[in-house]
Chains A and B, each alone.
Chain A
Amino acid sequence: MATIDRAATRRRRIPWSLLVFLGPAVLIYSAFMVFPLFDSLRLSLFAPGGSGLGVFVGLQNYVTLLTDPLWSPRFWGALGNNLVFFTIHMLVQNPIGLLLAVLLTTRVLRGRAAYRALIFAPTVLSVVIVGFIWKLILSPLWGVASGALDSIGIGQLYGPWLGLQGPAIIVVSLMSVWQYVGIPMLLFSAALLSIPDEVIEAARVDGAGPFRIFSRIQLPLIAPTVGIVAVLTFVGNFNAFDLVYSVQGGMAGPEFSTDLMGTLFYRTFFGFQLQLGNPTMGATVAGAMFVIILFGVCLYLFGLQRRLQTYEA
């Protein structure tokens, strides 16, 4: 009797506190993130026609997107541009962010807080404003760019970059780098500040110079943050849309040379000018974006982060 009673009470004991604490977040997250995500993936399995959602076509939309002579150049083009966009962020934004963070956490520099605030300032600006400012700066008619280059004697390097097929994506990427460089800087700063002073002082006593301290002490200790910054950059870049749209318009010109996955999605889903929106193909593009981002994040989670955590422990 007694054992049965105990078992019953054990079964009846529901962890209310757990449910109460997790419940709201789970509910809100499910309703506004998880459900729409899966509904969008479901939509990508249909084609327009019939009644309601349309006709179920399985994975046909994905096949169309990847192989159709009409869709595949746009998809692979956007993916390629997106990789360029991401590469430039990884090669320019994050190293500069790290460099700034190292500089701004050294004791010798005066006015560190002011620098940090200024460098972070573009991040809080609206993308529309950033795009507008840079369009004005680079405008061939009244931009300061050609004059500025002239004044240091390299005026012949100036070109109407935003209208040229090769340079346009690079220039747009660098605008984005300019805007968001404050984020890796801040993350790296926070990580660098959390390294115990004793470790660095001990290294200094042992005769290590600043470069050695950086490469042997600081960089290994902030390695987890390097990974986090890389994955945040990846997710942010493959979701990017707003800057290209505000600078180059929905056609991501010239000749789709600045087309990212985000702008391709926008044109497909919402339509542009006379082109009407195609919700199911749009959902397909969104599905492809989801898979790409999921793949990248998984690579980080299972490939990199585990190794870092064991190292940490």
Chain B
Amino acid sequence: MTPIEEVMHTSEKHPLEIRNGGRIDRPEEEEKTLKHRFMAIGAALAVVLGACTSANQSASTAPGASQPVTSQPAGSAPAASAAGETVNLSIESWRNDDLSIWQDQIIPAFEKAHANIKVTFNPTAPADYNGVLNTKLEGGSAGDLITCRPFDASLALFQKGYLASVNDLPGLKNFGDVAKSAWITDDGKDVFCVPMASVIHGFIYNKDVFDKLGITSTPTTLAEFHALLDKIKAAGVTPLDMGTKDMWESATMGFQNIGPDYWQGEDGRKALIAGTAKFTDQPYIDTWKELASWAPYLPKDYAGIAYPDAQQYFESGKAAIYPAGTWDISTFEAAGLKNIGFFGPPAIKAGDQCYISDHTDIALGMNAKTKNPEAAKAFLDWVAGDEFAALYSNALPGFYSLSNSTITLTDPVAQQALDLRKTCKSTIRNSYQILSRGTPNLENELWRVTAAVINGKLTPAAAAKEIQDGLDKWYKPAG
């Protein structure tokens, strides 16, 4: 409905008004003054709300946000005019949280070395990104550089000819096969995105709360984990901070976080793809059982708590442990929560090999229809290099470069999570490669059923059956 138009339209045509010609004036007069008042009120509200959001933004982008948006190194202006023409590149991304980091740190560092290339970072809201990007690419209005989701979403873009191959990029030699695995064709011939970073799952804990309760060590086994949760709960603090309203936290920070220990990382993940394992097998049911047992430790009314709510609850210091992806580290530190630590998913029993979800999350590719392929390639090659790896990993604590260059992190919490790579075997989320190609979509279904399991609306066995039935509808394992 377009409110005001409908109102004007129908009231003008009203039969009674025409019949009683002399009375037409009154309602219209009234409406005119009304309309003016509505507009005034609307404008006032818009101003107030606008002020609120801009205040929010400036607060949340506090570190390093002092530079203006179009910051360019001082020396570059004459160089650009000497080169004759400035090339503009625009980056499509879903990382709207990182806007200030790209604008203030990454892009200026690139522009310092490439004076005639101007880069703009142009993010979309994460949940809308894939749809918006597809529409933009089809309409020919997408940016020159495309931030790549892992696996099929980007593979489909490459197959449709929207992403260019980056095989001939010299910088690609800095990446191992695992790093490239998320952005390579099934036959392994074409790489179409330069890997940027992975994220690691685990638990972030509030050291202040731990100190206050006299907790000195982080749990290494499930038994220790539950004993710890009980102890925190008895002290009147919320032990685990997660909501199920947005659903994806349940699947991503719950299921994919602790699950690899149950299904033994890559072995279990590849067995699902090969068809030799099913979601109805014990490891998966046990994972959901463990998640269902989290319910009493979650905040009251967790079914109505969304992801940002849970983040702010943890920031307020009311919860002890936050099931996390490492991307949360920078969010919490930016909010002023400095005294935090990180521990990996606890082992099922002492001495087990530990597995972590070290998920290939983000890469950068080139729009095949870009008007500035040379400039775009120059940027991609720089992204593949050591300078970017160090810059990015440090600017975004919690996103770990997939490049082979050794990086040391200044952020201790991010380093704690990175250290898990030394002892634990890495795997990626089991729903991402191949298994989310059909309908119903495995990843989206995992969100739904895992949230329902934690809400107590679905038993682990029923969840397993729904997932496997959905997968069986379309997925036929090769061989």
Query: Which residues on A are within 8 Å of B, measured CB to CB?
Result: 70, 113, 116-118, 120-121, 123-125, 129, 135, 138-142, 159-165, 180, 182-183, 186-187, 189-191, 193-196, 221, 224-225, 228, 232, 235-236, 249-251, 253-256, 270-278, 309, 312
- Min C-beta distance of B420 to chain A, whole Å: 25
Instruction: Enumerate chain A residues within 8 angstroms of B11, measured Cβ to Cβ.
Output: 186-187, 190-191
Pair B303/A182 contact, Cβ less than 8 Å: no
Pair A255/B20 contact, Cβ less than 8 Å: no
Assuming the A-B contacts A224-B14, A274-B153, are A254 and B303 also in contact, with contact meaning beta carbons closer than 8 angstroms in the complex?
yes
Query: Which residues on B are within 8 Å of A, measured CB to CB?
Result: 1, 3-4, 6-7, 10-11, 14-17, 20, 23, 26-27, 30-31, 33-34, 37-39, 41-42, 45, 49, 127, 130-131, 134-135, 152-153, 156, 243-248, 299-306, 309, 312-313, 431-432, 436, 439-444, 447-448, 451-452, 455, 457, 470, 473
Instruction: Enumerate chain A residues within 8 angstroms of B247, measured Cβ to Cβ.
Output: 249, 251, 253-254
Instruction: Enumerate chain A residues within 8 angstroms of B23, measured Cβ to Cβ.
Output: 193-194, 196
Find B127's partner among A138, A186, A273 (CB 8 Å cutoff). Answer: A273
Instruction: Enumerate chain B residues within 8 angstroms of A235, measured Cβ to Cβ.
Output: 1
Pair B127/A249 contact, Cβ less than 8 Å: yes
Assuming the A-B contacts A187-B7, A193-B26, A194-B16, are A140 and B1 also in contact, with contact meaning beta carbons closer than 8 angstroms in the complex?
no
Pair B304/A274 contact, Cβ less than 8 Å: no
Q: Assuming A124-B38, A139-B305, A183-B3, what are 4 further A-B pairs, CB within 8 angstroms?
A: A120-B38, A121-B38, A140-B309, A254-B245
Chain A contact residues: helix, strand, loop or mixed: helix
Q: How far is B131's CA from A285's CA once the two chains are assembled, in angstroms? A: 17
Pair A163/B135 contact, Cβ less than 8 Å: no
- Min C-beta distance of B206 to chain A, whole Å: 16
Instruction: Enumerate chain A residues within 8 angstroms of B309, measured Cβ to Cβ.
Output: 139-142
Q: How far is B207's CA from A166's CA once the two chains are assembled, in angstroms? A: 39
Pair A124/B439 contact, Cβ less than 8 Å: no
Pair B305/A163 contact, Cβ less than 8 Å: yes
Find B248's partner among A118, A139, A162, A273 (CB 8 Å cutoff). Answer: A273
Instruction: Enumerate chain B residues within 8 angstroms of A309, measured Cβ to Cβ.
Output: 15
Assuming the A-B contacts A121-B45, A273-B248, are A116 and B34 also in contact, with contact meaning beta carbons closer than 8 angstroms in the complex?
yes
Pair A190/B301 contact, Cβ less than 8 Å: no
Find A273's partner among B15, B37, B444 (CB 8 Å cutoff). Answer: B444
Pair A123/B3 contact, Cβ less than 8 Å: yes
What are 8 A-to-B residue pairs whose CB atoms are below 8 Å? A124-B38, A135-B306, A160-B302, A162-B245, A254-B451, A270-B135, A272-B444, A274-B130
Closest to B304 in A: A160
Instruction: Enumerate chain A residues within 8 angstroms of B243, measured Cβ to Cβ.
Output: 163
Pair A271/B134 contact, Cβ less than 8 Å: yes
Instruction: Enumerate chain B residues within 8 angstroms of A139, measured Cβ to Cβ.
Output: 304-306, 309
Pair A140/B455 contact, Cβ less than 8 Å: no
